[in-house]
Amino acid sequence: MLTETGTGTGTGAFYAVVEGGTVTTPKGFRAGGLHCGLKKNGRHDLGVILCDVPAAAAAVYTLNAFQAAPLAVTRDSIAREGRLQAMLVNSGNANACTGKQGDADALEMRSAMAASLGLPEHYVGVTSTGVIGEPLPMERVREGIAALPAQVHAGGGEDFCQAILTTDLVKKEVCVRVSVGGKDVYIAGAAKGSGMIHPNMATMLGFITTDALIEPADLQGLLSGVTNTTFNMITVDGDTSTNDMVVAMASGLSGGVALRPGDADWAAFEAGFRHVSEHLAKAIARDGEGATKLIEVRVNGAVSDEAAQAIAKTVVGSSLVKSAVFGTDANWGRLIAAVGRAGQPVNAETVDIRIGDIPVLAQSSPVRFSEEDALVYLQQDEIVFHIDLHMEQGSAIAWGCDLTYDYVRINAAYRT
Amino acid sequence: MLTETGTGTGTGAFYAVVEGGTVTTPKGFRAGGLHCGLKKNGRHDLGVILCDVPAAAAAVYTLNAFQAAPLAVTRDSIAREGRLQAMLVNSGNANACTGKQGDADALEMRSAMAASLGLPEHYVGVTSTGVIGEPLPMERVREGIAALPAQVHAGGGEDFCQAILTTDLVKKEVCVRVSVGGKDVYIAGAAKGSGMIHPNMATMLGFITTDALIEPADLQGLLSGVTNTTFNMITVDGDTSTNDMVVAMASGLSGGVALRPGDADWAAFEAGFRHVSEHLAKAIARDGEGATKLIEVRVNGAVSDEAAQAIAKTVVGSSLVKSAVFGTDANWGRLIAAVGRAGQPVNAETVDIRIGDIPVLAQSSPVRFSEEDALVYLQQDEIVFHIDLHMEQGSAIAWGCDLTYDYVRINAAYRT
């Protein structure tokens, strides 16, 4: 289940992956990025997604009690009309815990970008990622924002993707095509995030564009629902950032009539939207700081989906499980220990565990297995743990990564 | 607050630390240890604490849903009369998730130890620590148990302490003396634990002995209460083991009358008992796998003690905070981010944070501080973070350790 399937779901709702697609593939979107001086390495640190028209907009925000200044600004913009035409992002500085100056700086970023693009302020959203607690060097940001419109172009998805990265090693983007009312509709996404990542949106930024014609409220409902089983089911280190946000913009330029939940093609659209979100979420987990492997935990037979989610997240977030995967050690005792401490109902007599296709625990008793087979499996770069509680029908999937020397190296030296 | 104070609390309840004291210092206790073949390195892996009389006994157990087999056996023994005369422990094998054979093995360990010492079975408790899911090599255990009584002696506290270690680097023991009714009463403790450690008792074993005369129910109440603010306030890696247990045994051989809550000397006894528990808990955190530093997080001004506990544990358990401490990086943004994701009420405008005595955040706004001073402070081996929420009177202290390359090395290779 970890490989990219080109099309399809079990419900007859089909989508096709568009190779090389970016956030500017859906009709009406352009993007750009540049280096304004927030990152020391000379890489892009300021980017924008621009729509030809005010796009239906939806967003989900971190649950951290200390939300960074730009989140309030974006929330305010979307609240006015449910539309955004430009989404501005900087990396290298989170503008979080920066006091009243930080609030003022985020507002100034919005007004400067709006002026620079000739848009009403409330059609501009703002987001930031990087170090917490340091004031933004606003003179550089101002210059960057003034220069940004000249960098915006139809093929600018790649530049934008570069501008949102911090400790990420790779760009994360994906695009799918679905058919709605006989017309091609594109859904694309870009994301960043590799540390301070945990369920409920952690140093993670996601940008989803589509040319579907859809009402803001329907887009918000879709984004919120899909986020729960995708972006909120990943963890790198259990930390949740102050800055996380996923924003979706729908230009409506695919043509045709408005798409609504319950329509004949809604299932296909939702499946495509889910694919984009899941692809980005898994890409973030796979690129977790220092990670060498993607870990997928599948829980079945729990008393509810919520219980399954809690168990899956606990297992995939366990430092001991993560270290064992790094060490290619089939140490299933750490899996069962993590299941047991998730705070959810379990039957201590009925648990099955498989490492890939290798049964290691059946009805809570150890199964003799080939250590050699397990080693071969664990040397792959995508590891799946199957946990079946044999209680009710609750199920969930969570994604994470292994814990390595490099995670420690990266985070011991991040700021200095 | 991290240095060992010889005596005292603020309530006038005094105790004195007994240098070199062990679990056999309280009157009536002997102990011993030997190597029976569970550990590959030839070190002690089987130990026992033996009391001259049936001691009042109390215990607290892991909250993990998959409790190891020996826990049920000890629970059963204590349930009969509230007394234990011998506490048997093995290291190198947890006897957890070992099915019905594991249950039978734990019962056989109890009956064999009882026969070997000439005691009723229900005066014997059993506990295990080590790898999960592998059957105990019972022939070695049987031979070890048969040989163990000959190793028991009054100075056997050190041998016992060796027998309970797994990846621990140092022994953890402490002894205090208090005065009860004009008589000297000793309270001593030994503990193991360095990985899979988290609030609510994780791969942690604690053994507390005292010669106080106290009823089992009073001892249980004291142990449960003190555990909440000591053993349950430490974390190494957020994992909670299947095997954790803290057991207390009171021989009553100090003489005098029975000590009861509310007695004139109860406060002194409780303070001494708390000192023993806190000392062992901090020693476990300090000896966390791969750790180079002890981290103490003090939260004040929370809406309740429970909220403060949750926040303190979240901060001290944050991989990002732990990595920053390893890297001597005064990255307070990670502290505030952890506070914000603890799921407890906070006022985003009123938070103060100090790193040691260095203010870094005041009323939620950054304070300019000397990076050099912070570096000097963070290079010490005991780091204290002070967090004041300025809401209500809730307070808590949690302990943990830094996250290092060695944690990953130890846990990537533990089983293989």
Report the CATH number at residue A402: 3.10.20.340
Contact A346 B65 (CB under 8 A): yes
Q: Is B203 annotated as a binding residue?
A: yes
Q: Which residues numbered 337-376 in B keep a CB inside 8 Å of some CB on A?
A: 337-341, 346, 348, 361, 364-366
Classify residue A152: in a domain, yes or no. Answer: yes
- The pLDDT value recorded for residue A4 is 33
Burial string for B35-48 (b: 16+ CB within 10 Å, else e) reads bbbbbeeeebbbbb
B274 φ/ψ sector (left φ>0, alpha ψ -120 to 50, else beta):
alpha
Q: Is the dihedral of CA A163, A165, A171, A176 positive or negative?
A: negative
Residue B8: pLDDT over 80? no
- Mean of pLDDT values over B37-55: 94
- The pLDDT value recorded for residue A64 is 79
CATH label of the domain that carries residue A26: 3.60.70.12
Distance (Å, whole) CA A58 – CA A41: 33
The phi and psi torsions of B367 (rounded to 5 degrees) equal -110, 135
Q: Which of A132, A198, A202 lies at the smallest CB-CB distance from B336?
A: A132
- The pLDDT value recorded for residue B27 is 97
DSSP string, B53-91: EEEEEEEEE---SS--HHHHHHHHHHHHHSEEEEEEEEE
Q: How many CA atoms lie within 13 A of B120 on its CB side?
A: 11
CA distances from B231 to B216, B274, B322, B393 (A): 20, 10, 19, 23
- The pLDDT value recorded for residue A65 is 78
Burial string for A230-252 (b: 16+ CB within 10 Å, else e) reads bbbbbbbbbbbbbbbbbbbbbbb
Contact A408 B411 (CB under 8 A): no
pLDDT in tens, B189-201: 999 876 554 433 3
Task: Point out the annotated binding site of A for substrate.
Answer: 166, 192, 203, 289, 411, 416
Pick among B129, B411, B414 to test the A interface (most A CBs inside 10 A):
B411
Say if residue A33 is in the same domain as residue A161: yes
- The pLDDT value recorded for residue A331 is 87
> Which residues in chain B are contacts of A94 at CB distance < 8 A?
333
Say if residue A242 is in the same domain as residue A318: no
- Exposed / middle / buried, residue B17 (Cβ in 10 Å: 0-12, 13-18, 19+): middle
Burial string for B205-241 (b: 16+ CB within 10 Å, else e) reads bbbbbbbbbbbbebbbebbeebbbbbbbbbbbbbbbb
Say if residue A261 is in the same domain as residue A316: no
3-state secondary structure labels for all residues of B306-358 = HHHHHHHHHHHHCHHHHHHHHCCCCCHHHHHHHHHCCCCCCCCCCCEEEECCE
Contact A66 B196 (CB under 8 A): no
Q: Which of A97, A331, A348 lies at the smallest CB-CB distance from B65?
A: A348
Residue ranges of chain A with per-residue pLDDT less than 70: 1-13, 167, 194-203, 236-240, 413-416
Q: Is A98 on the interface with B (CB under 8 A)?
A: yes
- The pLDDT value recorded for residue B91 is 92
- Catalytic hit among B203, B240, B314, B404: B203
Q: Is A331 on the interface with B (CB under 8 A)?
A: yes
Classify residue B136: in a domain, yes or no. Answer: yes
Show the domain range for B214.
16-286
Say if residue B274 is in the same domain as residue B129: yes
Pick among A95, A97, A241, A346 to test the B interface (most B CBs inside 10 A):
A97
Pick among A66, A204, A321, A378 to test the B interface (most B CBs inside 10 A):
A66
Say if residue A256 is in the same domain as residue A394: no
Classify residue B5: in a domain, yes or no. Answer: no
Q: Which residues numbered 248-307 in B keep a CB inside 8 Å of some CB on A?
A: none
- Chain B: residue whose CA lies nearest to A316: B239
| Nearby residues of A220 by Cβ (< 8 Å), 6 or more positions away | A58, A59, A82
CA distances from B407 to A203, A327, B196, B290, B410 (A): 24, 12, 11, 4, 5
B386: nearest Cα among B352, B344, B346, B410: B352
Classify residue A353: in a domain, yes or no. Answer: yes
- The pLDDT value recorded for residue A404 is 84
Q: Is B192 annotated as a binding residue?
A: yes
CA distances from B276 to B25, B167, B272, B283 (A): 13, 22, 6, 11
- Chain B: residue whose CA lies nearest to A344: B65
Distance (Å, whole) CA B156 – CA B172: 15
pLDDT in tens, B366-390: 899 999 999 999 999 999 999 999 9
Q: Which of A319, A403, A413 lies at the smallest CB-CB distance from B327?
A: A413
Say if residue A147 is in the same domain as residue A89: yes
Residue B123: pLDDT over 80? yes
Contact A238 B348 (CB under 8 A): no
- Chain A: residue whose CA lies nearest to B339: A65
Q: Which of A267, A286, A305 is the last residue in one of the domains? A: A286
- The pLDDT value recorded for residue A120 is 98
Say if residue B329 is in the same domain as residue B226: no
Say if residue A241 is in the same domain as residue A383: no
Residue B256: pLDDT over 60? yes
- The pLDDT value recorded for residue B4 is 33
Helix (H, G, I), strand (E, B) or coil at A84: strand
Per the annotation, the verdict on A203 as an active-site residue is yes
The phi and psi torsions of A352 (rounded to 5 degrees) equal -110, 140
- Mean of pLDDT values over B231-237: 79
Q: Which of B63, B133, B237 lies at the smallest CB-CB distance from A319?
A: B237
Residues in chain B: 416
Please check whether residue A217 is in contact with residue A52, taking contact to mean a CB–CB distance below 8 angstroms: no
- The pLDDT value recorded for residue B199 is 35
Q: How many CA atoms lie within 13 A of B376 on its CB side?
A: 6
Classify residue A6: in a domain, yes or no. Answer: no
**pLDDT band, residue B170 (cuts 50/70/90):** confident
Q: Which of B286, B306, B322 is the last residue in one of the domains? A: B286
Q: Which residues numbered 15-74 in B keep a CB inside 8 Å of some CB on A?
A: 63-67
CA distances from A32 to A23, A29, A47, B49 (A): 11, 11, 6, 71
Q: Which of A245, A261, A286 is the last residue in one of the domains? A: A286
Pick among A323, A378, A401, A407 to test the B interface (most B CBs inside 10 A):
A323
CA triplet B157, B235, B131: central angle to 5 degrees? 65
Say if residue B276 is in the same domain as residue B164: yes
Classify residue A327: in a domain, yes or no. Answer: yes
**pLDDT band, residue B144 (cuts 50/70/90):** very high
pLDDT in tens, A355-388: 999 999 999 988 999 999 999 999 999 999 999 9
Classify residue A10: in a domain, yes or no. Answer: no
Say if residue A38 is in the same domain as residue A109: yes
> Which residues in chain B are contacts of A96 at CB distance < 8 A?
333, 337
Contact B336 A133 (CB under 8 A): yes
Say if residue A191 is in the same domain as residue A258: yes
DSSP state of A56: E
- The pLDDT value recorded for residue A416 is 47
pLDDT in tens, B328-358: 988 888 899 889 888 899 998 999 999 999 9
Classify residue B10: in a domain, yes or no. Answer: no
Contact A327 B134 (CB under 8 A): no
Residue B414: pLDDT over 70? no
Q: How many domains does chain B have?
A: 2
CA of B158, closest CA in chain A: separation in Å? 30
What mean pLDDT value characterizes chain B? 89
Query: Encoding tokens for residue B52?
Result: 């001259």
Give residue B292's identity as a one-letter amino acid code: T
Least confident window among A197-201, B13-17, B282-286, B409-413: A197-201
- Exposed / middle / buried, residue A58 (Cβ in 10 Å: 0-12, 13-18, 19+): buried
Say if residue A84 is in the same domain as residue A226: yes
